[in-house]
Amino acid sequence: MAAFSQLYDLHINILFNYGLKLTIDKELLKDCIHDIFVKLYTKKDELGTIDNLKSYLFISLKNKLCDELRKRMYMSDTAIEDVNAVAPTDVEDDYMEEEQRKNEFSLVKRLLDQLSPRQREALTLYYIEEKKYEDICEIMNMNYQSVRNLMHRGLTKLRSLAS
């Protein structure tokens, strides 16, 4: 139970901030967050393995909010346009873009890890720190042509690994 409490404490603020992008009804949002954690705890044996807990929680919260808002619209006489509806496309797009960026960063890191330390250093200095070849020569204590060759071999290896 202590571990579950820590899990709750770790994710409550980020879920609440995410939920505020979906609805301005803070009480509904709090209820939905609590409901997804109750479900997570009570049905933990039925859920199986959750590979990405944060994604699971975000999606569960969005679905729970949508369900609750649908119930409210169905049970009221309020026009759909007057309801504080969820705008999932913007938030989902932002989340998907962030996930894409993380995946690309992870891929680049894995590819760079397969280079020699000197190749990685030269490419990092040139592309990330935006150093000129002359500066790289000085930093790495190498002559100009050696740095050019090192960069060329590193880029060639990256291209072959990425394809």
Domain that holds residue 140: 114-160
Which residues, 6+ apart, have CB-to-CB distance to 146 below 8 Å?
137
Per-residue pLDDT of the chain (163 residues), as tens digits, is: 687 788 888 888 888 888 888 888 899 999 999 999 888 888 877 777 777 778 888 888 888 988 888 887 777 555 555 545 545 556 667 777 888 888 887 887 888 889 998 998 998 888 878 889 999 999 899 999 999 999 999 999 988 988 7
Is residue 85 assigned to a domain? no
Measuring CA to CA, how many Å separate 107 from each of 20, 70, 122, 130?
32, 40, 19, 21
Q: Tell me, what amino acid is at 80?
A: I
Same domain, 5 and 61: yes
For residues 120 and 54, membership in a common domain is answered with no
The answer to whether residue 33 is domain-embedded is yes
Task: Give the CATH number for residue 138.
Answer: 1.10.10.10
In a domain, 48, yes or no: yes
Cα 16 off chain centre by: 16
What is the pTM (predicted TM-score) of this model? 0.46
Q: Would 123 be classed as within a structural domain?
A: yes
87 within domain boundaries: no
Residues 6+ apart with CB under 8 A from 142: 136, 150
User: Could you read off the pLDDT of 101-144 as tens digits, one per residue?
Assistant: 888 878 878 888 899 989 989 988 888 788 899 999 998 999 99
| Spatial distance between the Cα atoms of 7 and 14, rounded to a whole number of angstroms | 12
Nearest partner of 113 among 126, 124, 128, judged by Cα: 124
Of the residues 75, 90, 125, the one at which a domain ends: 75
* 100 domain residue, yes or no: no
Domain boundary among 44, 75, 106: 75
Last residue of a domain, one of 23, 57, 75: 75
48 Rama sector, left if φ>0, alpha if ψ -120 to 50, beta otherwise: left
118 and 71 housed in the same domain: no
Q: Are residues 71 and 122 in the same domain?
A: no
DSSP state of 82: G
Per the structure, the count of domains in the chain is: 2
Q: Are residues 1 and 64 in the same domain?
A: yes
Assigned domain for 19 exists:
yes
The answer to the question of residue 84 being in a domain is no
Task: State phi, psi for 80 to the nearest 5 degrees.
Answer: -55, -40
